[in-house]
Structure 1
């Protein structure tokens, strides 16, 4: 039987089962079954792992089933591959925007009213690029690479994690200060 660490990881976050269910997008009963050691789909495990900010393999202290271990490894490999593909596509869009901007900037210096072209592209183009990214590119990449995340969502998760860690350290310090004579 595979021994999970979900209870330990959830409690380290200071979360209730209800909070984990909400953060991961799975049902409360599913969280209860996972914590009891019952089997779940890799998709469910992936959602819970993402909510807890750990790789799927870290949800388990031991994985006795060789087939399950192989599936977890395969999921982690697919996640890495999909993230790399997503990052390449978004990087290509960014470099296309910058390349066109450089060309238009050089052309704008040859016109008397070139500053209008320069400002129009870099200000208007930025707003258009952001709109295209949010309305078309990100939803398209989400459906094409479901195991990957946008750089902005990864940055937000990292900021939330970093913001939570000092608060936890501070609260531990407060408790220590209160206990000390």
Structure 2
């Protein structure tokens, strides 16, 4: 492997090896090996680069091996393409949020009309907070347990779990 800059990038953020390992989803021993200049898979390098928010090429002082340079450039290009495709998929899935809001407005309007009727005792208004709170919990659950994992499986180079942990 070429001379790594991972230690410099990590310390510039004020991170320990443990923090980088957690943020990137790899073992601490893997971070230690990378910083020592040992070889790693392109996928591992991608996870570390994503956690550090840099292109894979920036993990090295220079990339001397032509084959490695081509592979690193190719990986950076794949990550960029995958980010664009993932953003498009996330926009398409935002339709569920719009449906939730539109249905919520309809439920709220129906409850207000029902409460305004002379034969109503007013209990219909309880449906409004139940819908908004319950629906929000269901929506968040589905986004985190169904949509997120599906997008991560479809776009593994831009999986959200590593980058989300890096910011928390």
TM-score by length of 2: 0.70
Equivalences for 1:79-158 in 2 at 5 Å? 79-112=82-115, 113=122, 114-150=124-160, 154=164, 157-158=166-167
> How far apart are residue 96 of structure 1 and its match?
1.7
Where does structure 1 differ by over 6 angstroms across 4 or more consecutive aligned residues? none
Aligned residue number for residue 45 of structure 1 = 45
Mapped to 1, the partners of 2:139 and 2:35 lie a distance apart of 44
Q: 1:58 to 1:86 in 2, by over 3 A?
A: farther
Whether the aligned pair in 2 keeps the contact of 1:83 and 1:147 (CA below 8 Å) is no
Q: Does the residue aligned with 2:70 lie in a helix, a strand or coil?
A: helix
Q: 1:95-115 deviations in whole A, cap 9, x for unaligned?
A: 121121122223333213542
Unaligned runs of at least 5 residues, structure 2: 116-121
Deviation at 1:45, TM superposition (A): 0.5
Q: 5+ residue gaps in structure 1?
A: 161-181
Structural RMSD (CA): 3.1
Tell me, what secondary structure is at the counterpart of 1:138?
helix
CA shift digits 1:157-177 (9 cap, x unpaired): 44x4xxxxxxxxxxxxxxxxx
Question: Which moved further from structure 2: 23-32 or 40-49?
Answer: 23-32
Q: Would you say the 8 A contact 2:79–2:158 is kept in 1? A: no
The two structures have a TM-score, normalised by structure 1, of 0.66
Question: Which residue number in structure 1 is paired with residue 5 of structure 2?
Answer: 5
- CA apart distance, 1:133: 2.5
- How far the C-alpha of 1:121 sits from its partner, in A, is 1.5
Which protein has greater RCO, CA pairs closer than 8 Å, 6+ apart? 2
Distance 1:147 1:107, change over 3 A: farther
